[in-house]
Structure 1
Amino acid sequence: MTSEPNFTTPTAGGGCPPVGIGLEGKIMPPVLIIDVILGLLGNLVALWIFCFKLKAWNPNSIFLFNLVIADFLALVSLPLRIDALLRSHWVFGDGMCRINLFLMFSNRSASIALMTVVAIYRYFKVVHPHHRFNRMTKRQAVFVSLFVWLLVITPRVPMLAYNHIKGSGNTTQCFFFTSYKEASRAIIILVAMHRILTVLEFIFPMAMLLFCSIRISSFLKERRVGKPDKVRKAMRVCVAIVAVFMVCFLPTTVTTIGVWIIRSYRPWDCTSFYRFTQLSIVSLGLNFLNSALDPIIYVFSSSMFRTALVGALPRALRCGQEAEDNATSSSGTQTTTQEEMKSMRTDRGSEAK
C-alpha cells in the first residue's frame, strides 16, 4: 500500500493533492467480491430463465432482460477493479482502464433508466389500463430499450477518449475522479459533467418512481374494486424498485453533492475534498449491489418470470408447495369428475334397461 499524501493544504499549483487509494482500498474489495458473487448467481439464473424457460415475452420481460444485460456489463468490469484494489495499483494498461470505467458508469445509468421504465410501464398498466401505451408491441419495446441504451451511453462515450491513468510504476492507478489541478482542463470538465449526471440521474428517476408508486397506491385504494392480491402485487413491485433504488444509488448521490459543494465553496479544504471523494468512490460499491438485488425486481414485476422460476425449481423447493397443491387439487377434481360421469353413465344404462 502506498503512503497517502498530505491533504491538509493545497499544493503549490493551487490544487489539492492527487486522490490515491485509501479508504476504498480497505472497504471496496470485500464489498465488490460480494457484489460479484451474488450478482453472478442471481443474474445467471435470471438469464437462464429468460433464455430457456420463459415461454412468452411481453414488453415488461424485454425491459427486464435489458436490465440483466446492464448488470452483466457491470459484473464484467468488477474483477479488474478488485484486482487493482488488492494490488494497490493498476496493471491492465490505459485501454482497459478506459473500458473499465466506461462499463462501470454506463451500467449505473442503464440500471436507473431501465428500472424507471419498468415502474412507468407498471403505472400505466394499473392506473391507465386503456391507454395506448399498454398496447405496446414487443418490437416497440425493443426500440424503447435501444433508445434507453443510446440515451445513457452517449454521455459516457467521452470517457473512452481520455487517458485516466495516474502515477507510474507500482503507483499506477485507474481513476476517473480527480483533484483540482491534477489533470487537464478537459478531464476536469468531464468529471464535472459526470457529477452533474450522477445527481440528475438520481433526482429525476426518483421523482418518477415516487410519483408512480403514490399514484398506483392511491388509485387502487380509491377504487376498491380490484382483488386484494392485485393491490399487493402492484405495491410490491413499486416498493421493491424504490428500495433497491434508494439503497444502491442514494449514497453516491449524497457524497457527489458533498464533493460538489466543497469544490465550489471550500476549494482550500483539501482534507474534506479528499474524504468526500473517497466516500464517493466507496459508495460505488453500493451501486454495483443493484446487480445482486435486481433479480428481486424480476420476481416481483413479472408474473411470467415468477411462473417460469417456480416451474424450474425442484418440487421440494417450491415456496409453499403451491405448484404441488394446485396439481393435487386439479388431479383430485379431475378424478372426482371422472367418477361422477362414470356413475351417471351407469345410472343411465340401468334406466334404459
Structure 2
Amino acid sequence: MTNGNEDHCNTTHELMASVLPPVLIIEMLLGLPGNVVALYVFCKYMKSWRTNVIFLFNLILSDFLLLLSLPFRIDNFVHSETWRFGDAWCRINLYMLAVNRSASIAFMTAVAFDRYFKVVHPHHKINHISSKQAAGVACFIWAVVIALRIPLLAKNLLNTGKNHSRCRSFSNYEVLSPDILLHYIVFISEFFVPLMLLIFCSARITCTLRSRPRLNESRKGQRAIRTVLVIVGVFVFCFFPSIGTGLTVLILKSFGEKYCKAYNITTEFFSMSLAFTYLNSALDPVIYCFSSSLFRNYLKTTLNRTGMIQLQVSK
C-alpha cells in the first residue's frame, strides 16, 4: 500500500474484520498440526528421497512457513486492519505470505507433473533423474518465486492514515508502479498457468488409463489420477475465489468513481477470499495422503493404536 491518499472509493472492510479472524484461527489450528506431523514423518521415516518425495517435502515446508506468518495477519484483522508491527515487518510478512503461496502452487504442480510423466511417459528420462537433480529443481523453483516477490520488500506497503495503519499488498493505487504491476501479473499468472497445466495432466492421465486397461486397474494408475484430481480440486477451491474477485476489482477500478459501490463490495469479497487462499495450507495434508504411502501408513498406524478403528496398512 502506498503512502498517501487512497482513491475516492474508500473501503471499510467491516465484514472482513469480524469474520476473517475466527476463520483464520481455525485454519491455522487445523493446518499447523497436519504439516508438523508431515514434516516429522518425512524427516524421521523417509529412507529413499525420490523425486515426488522431494517435491512433497517442499510443499509441506512452504505450507508450514505460510502458516507461521498467519498470526500477524490474524492480529491485523482482529484490530480492524490496524497494523501494529511497523513498515519493515509489514513488508516481510506480506513477502513471506506471497512467496510461500507461490511455492505451494509451484510444488503442487510439480507433484502433478511427476505423476503425469510416470503414467503417460513411463520410459521418459525425466522419471530417472537422481535425488540430487530433483533437489536442484526444487531449489530453482524456490529461487524463481523468491525473486519474483522481491518487489514486495522494496515497496512501502504500509498506508498510515488518520485512524488507521493498513498493511496490504493490494490497494487502491492510483498509478501502478512497475513493481506493483509485476506483483499483480505474478498473482494472476500463478493461477491460470498452473491451472492449465493441471488440467492437461489430469486429462492426459485419464486418456492414458482408458487406453491401457491393465494400468487403469492397477494401484499405480488409480493413485496417480486420484492424486492429480485432488490437487486440481484443492487448487481451484482455494485459489479461484481470490483470482475471480481480484480481477473483478481491477475491472471495476478501471471504470472510475461511478462504480464505487460495486467496487467497495467486490473489494471486501476479495479480502474475504483470503480465507480460501490460506485454507490451501490446511488442506494440503490431504494431498500428502494421496501422494505418499509412507505418510498414509503412518496415519493408519497411529489411528490403529487408538483401538477405535483398524485400518489395513499397505506393505
TM-score in same-fold range (> 0.5): yes
Work out the CA distance in 1 between the residues paired with 2:284 and 2:208: 26
Q: 1:111 to 1:203 in 2, by over 3 A?
A: same
Aligned pair partner of 1:202 in 188, 191, 194: 191
Q: Which residue of 2 aligns with 1:337?
A: none
8 Å Cα contact 2:238/2:277 also seen in 1: yes
8 Å Cα contact 1:178/1:191 also seen in 2: no
Are 2:135 and 1:137 aligned? Answer: no
Work out the CA distance in 1 between the residues paired with 2:6 and 2:49: 58
Q: 1:318 to 1:225 in 2, by over 3 A?
A: farther
8 Å Cα contact 1:199/1:253 also seen in 2: yes
SS of aligned partner of 1:321: coil
The more displaced of 271-280 and 18-27 is 18-27
Are 2:155 and 1:166 aligned? Answer: no
Work out the CA distance in 1 between the residues paired with 2:115 and 2:266: 37
Q: Which residue of 2 aligns with 1:211?
A: 200
Aligned pair partner of 2:213 in 199, 215, 224: 224
Unmatched runs of 5 consecutive residues or more in structure 1: 1-12, 328-353
Q: 1:50 to 1:170 in 2, by over 3 A?
A: farther
Aligned pair partner of 2:63 in 60, 71, 92: 71
The amino acid of 2:281's aligned partner reads S
Q: Which residue of 2 aligns with 1:243?
A: 233
SS of aligned partner of 1:151: helix
Deviation for aligned residue 1:167:
2.2
Work out the CA distance in 1 between the residues paired with 2:156 and 2:15: 24
Are 2:172 and 1:179 aligned? Answer: yes
Q: What is the root-mean-square deviation in Å for CA atoms of aligned residues?
A: 2.3
Deviations 1:1-47 (A, max 9, x none): xxxxxxxxxxxx99324444423212211111111101101101101
Aligned pair partner of 2:91 in 89, 95, 98: 98
Work out the CA distance in 2 between the residues paired with 1:225 and 1:43: 35
Aligned pair partner of 1:299 in 280, 284, 289: 289
Work out the CA distance in 2 between the residues paired with 1:90 and 1:254: 26
Work out the CA distance in 2 between the residues paired with 1:176 and 1:200: 16
Q: Which residue of 2 aligns with 1:81?
A: 73
Deviation for aligned residue 1:266:
4.2
Are 2:25 and 1:48 aligned? Answer: no
Q: 1:268 to 1:192 in 2, by over 3 A?
A: farther
Work out the CA distance in 2 between the residues paired with 1:75 and 1:305: 20
SS of aligned partner of 1:322: coil
Work out the CA distance in 2 between the residues paired with 1:140 and 1:208: 22
The amino acid of 1:33's aligned partner reads I
Deviation for aligned residue 1:169:
7.1
Deviation for aligned residue 1:201:
0.9
8 Å Cα contact 1:97/1:174 also seen in 2: yes
Are 2:277 and 1:287 aligned? Answer: yes
Larger radius of gyration: 1
Deviation for aligned residue 1:321:
3.2
8 Å Cα contact 1:64/1:298 also seen in 2: yes
Deviations 1:136-175 (A, max 9, x none): 1110111101111111121211111122111257521212
Q: Which residue of 1 aligns with 2:248?
A: 258
Q: Which residue of 1 aligns with 2:110?
A: 117
SS of aligned partner of 1:112: helix
TM-score where L is the length of structure 2? 0.90
The amino acid of 1:149's aligned partner reads W
Q: 1:211 to 1:319 in 2, by over 3 A?
A: farther
Q: 1:206 to 1:164 in 2, by over 3 A?
A: same
Deviation for aligned residue 1:241:
0.3
Are 2:146 and 1:153 aligned? Answer: yes
8 Å Cα contact 2:9/2:257 also seen in 1: no
Deviation for aligned residue 1:209:
0.5
Deviation for aligned residue 1:304:
3.2
Work out the CA distance in 2 between the residues paired with 1:47 and 1:246: 25
SS of aligned partner of 1:269: helix
8 Å Cα contact 2:51/2:134 also seen in 1: yes
Work out the CA distance in 2 between the residues paired with 1:121 and 1:247: 22
Work out the CA distance in 2 between the residues paired with 1:322 and 1:15: 60
Number of equivalenced pairs: 309
Deviation for aligned residue 1:194:
2.4
The amino acid of 1:27's aligned partner reads V
